[in-house]
A = this chain, B = another copy of it.
Amino acid sequence: MAREMLRQGGRSARIQEAVHRTVQELLKRVDRSEITVPMIAEKAGVTPSTIYRRWGDLSELLADVAVARMRPIADPEDTGAMASDLETFMVQYAEEMSSKVGRAMMSDVLASTEGEAAARCCQYTYHHLETLRERAAARGETPFDINEAVDLVVAPIVYHILFRDREPTPDYCRSLVGRFLGSRAEFSRLV
């Protein structure tokens, strides 16, 4: 799973770059069950033993690549209000994760033995929600609770993607956000 490298520059970095890029390209073309370490090694121009020594096995490499792909490159879009911010973000999240590559990424991340990859990609989601929460607070809106957002919105989406028992349509995602924010309103009305 790409332990923290003692040497971060030069050849080592170039190889990581080449291998990651090769894996991503392969994931687009061939089915994941067809992908092998020697195949990746050849296309990336490295020796298989290098991959084995550095990542351990194929599943760890795939998990590493998946986490790298999930690393956020930008903050979620600012739509001007908390509700629409959450809706847009979650709809987009569901779209990305329910796609073929998204599903593959989640699968790879969860297959990683240590579970460290899962925790990290979970942090990415928390970070985005935190951004939205602070943005709402800065606007003067009463900010939402992040743990509750995960329980009421993120978790259902992820569950249905993983277990394939329901399609996470945009409408469904918006209804989740609606229920989430609605439950807060009703709660505050009752106390």
- Give this chain's copy count: 2
Pairs A–B under 8 Å by Cβ, sample size 20? A32-B113, A33-B113, A110-B110, A110-B162, A118-B162, A118-B164, A119-B164, A121-B163, A123-B165, A126-B165, A147-B166, A151-B156, A151-B176, A154-B159, A159-B159, A179-B183, A183-B183, A183-B186, A186-B186, A186-B187
Q: Taking CB as reference atom, which chain B residue is nearest A153?
A: B151
- Nearest opposing residue in chain B for A151, CB measure: B156
Interface of A is mostly: helix
Interface size on A, residues (CB 8 A): 35
Q: Are A186 and B190 closer than 8 Å at their CB atoms?
A: yes
A122 to B32, CA, bound (A): 24
Q: By the criterion CB–CB under 8 Å, are B113 and A110 in contact?
A: no
Inter-chain CA distance A152–B180, complex, in Å, is 10
A111 at the interface (CB under 8 A from B): yes
Chain B residues, Cβ within 8 Å of A160: 155
Are B155 and A159 touching (Cβ within 8 A)? Answer: yes
Are A156 and B150 neighbours in the complex by a CB distance under 8 Å? yes
Contact (Cβ within 8 A) B122 A165: yes
Asked if A115 lies at the interface with its beta carbon under 8 angstroms from chain B, I say yes
